[in-house]
A = this chain, B = another copy of it.
Amino acid sequence: MQFALLPLAMVTSLRLTAAEIARAIAGRVEGDAAVIITGLAPIDQARPGDLTFVAQPRYFSYIDKTPAAAVLVEQNYSTTPANGVVLIRVANPYFAFLQIAKNFFQPPASWTGVHPTAIVGENVRLGENVVIGPHVIIEPECAIGDNASIGALCYIGRGAQLGHRVVLFPQVHVAYGVHLGNDVIVQAGSVIGSDGFGYVKHEGAYHKIPHIGAVVLEDGVEIGANCTIDRGTFGETRIRRGTKLDNLVHLAHNVEVGEHTVIAAQTGVSGSTKIGNRVTIAGQVGFVGHIEIGDDATFGAQAGVTKSIPAGITVSGYPAREHSLARKEEAARRRLPELLKRVRALEKALAQIAPEALEKIDDSEV
């Protein structure tokens, strides 16, 4: 048995002509419109059969050398390729490329409708064209919008509400009562609506606080793989529209994240912290609880955020402080071993000139 790597096109079984591609993105073919496209790649990695693109002049020189089958270029690209590669002219080559990727290069669904092994509870309302994969469990009282897709082995708790075009990858967990807006995407293994880490200490032992609050992911929110988003204790945990989370991100109970914010992998946000709109958060950042982060703030990787941060500020380090300040301290820190030597030299020099002056102060001050 052979396990040689197959080219991607064999995975997606794609075969399109340049003409068919051009039609889909309102492009104009120059060259053999019948050339077959079987894959996609950036221009520096393209192989025979690939469609590629050039969006910036500094990549123009690649066009003459690429073995690709066709290249997306801007309307006014002027050179005729020496190698005869097919050109497809479009308004925005990069966007056109993404469009093709999205529309033609996703693997086809293997089932339609509700898979016979899925278990759908009582009073579940399904919209039009909902796809529910094998071994899915949907508890009673849920509602799922039109064109939503629930991957294999997902669990959806009682009364959860999923908007139109929601996509759950396989093995996602959506707890009871969670609300996912339209166009929400949740990748494999993520848990939306876990109980928060809330305990009452009583006579030396911790007693679980029942978590009965909500989770709301508004329209267009996207969640990576193996994330955990706790439900509110009594109120709600909310991510506003358009915000994106990378993998292994943790949001604790009652956290609020604003609109169009991005949070990179392995970041954690403690309970009740409020993050603003258009905030940019790099990987492995940690936020303590009960603080507020202003709009448009930026956080360097591994920042440890111990207090509220005003809007527009860029911070880094532990404890997180303004990035320009952190860099200055960092530069100074690098000079610390040298500084110690210089102070020792000063002390010795002073001891020579005026020993009594320094000694007297040493005794009383240090």
Q: Which residues of A contact B (CB under 8 A)?
A: 1, 3, 5-6, 8, 10-13, 40-42, 45, 94-95, 98, 101-102, 105-108, 110, 117, 119, 121, 125, 127, 133-135, 137, 139-141, 143, 145-146, 151-153, 155, 157-159, 161-164, 169-171, 173, 175-177, 179, 181-182, 185, 187-189, 191, 194-195, 197, 199-200, 204-210, 212-214, 216, 220, 222, 224-228, 230, 234-235, 242, 244, 246-248, 250, 252, 260, 262, 264-266, 268, 270, 278, 282-284, 286, 288, 301-302, 304, 306, 317-319, 328-350, 352-354, 357-358, 360-362, 365-366
- Please determine whether B354 and A105 come into contact, CB atoms closer than 8 angstroms: no
CB distance from A68 to the nearest CB of B (A): 12
Question: Are B362 and A205 interface neighbours, CB within 8 A?
Answer: no
How many monomers of this chain does the complex have? Answer: 3
A200: min CB distance to chain B, Å? 7
Given known contacts A1-B127, A244-B199, A349-B354, A42 and B234 CB-to-CB distance under 8 angstroms: yes
Chain A contact residues: helix, strand, loop or mixed: loop
Instruction: Name A248's contact: one of B95, B248, B332 (CB within 8 Å).
Output: B248
Contact B188 A188 (CB under 8 A): no
Judge whether A270 and B283 touch: CB under 8 Å: yes
A152 touches B137 (CB 8 A): yes
Given A134-B119, A158-B110, the answer on whether A187 and B195 have CB atoms closer than 8 Å is yes
> Could you say which residues of chain B place their CB within 8 Å of the CB of A133?
137
User: Which chain B residues border A352 with CB–CB below 8 Å?
Assistant: 354, 357
Q: A225 CA to B110 CA in the complex, in Å?
A: 27
What B residues does A204 contact at CB under 8 A? 260, 278
16 example contacts (A-B, Cβ-Cβ < 8 A) are as follows A1-B127, A5-B179, A12-B177, A101-B212, A107-B158, A169-B194, A171-B173, A191-B225, A194-B224, A205-B220, A226-B228, A250-B283, A302-B318, A341-B365, A345-B361, A350-B357
A322 to B95, CA, bound (A): 42
Known pairs A95-B200, A107-B139 / 15 extra A-B pairs, C-beta < 8 Å = A1-B164, A3-B145, A3-B179, A13-B141, A106-B212, A153-B171, A199-B244, A225-B228, A228-B248, A250-B266, A301-B304, A302-B302, A345-B358, A350-B350, A352-B354
Nearest-neighbor residue (CB-CB) of A344 within chain B: B365
> Is B342 touching A337 in the complex (CB atoms < 8 A)?
no
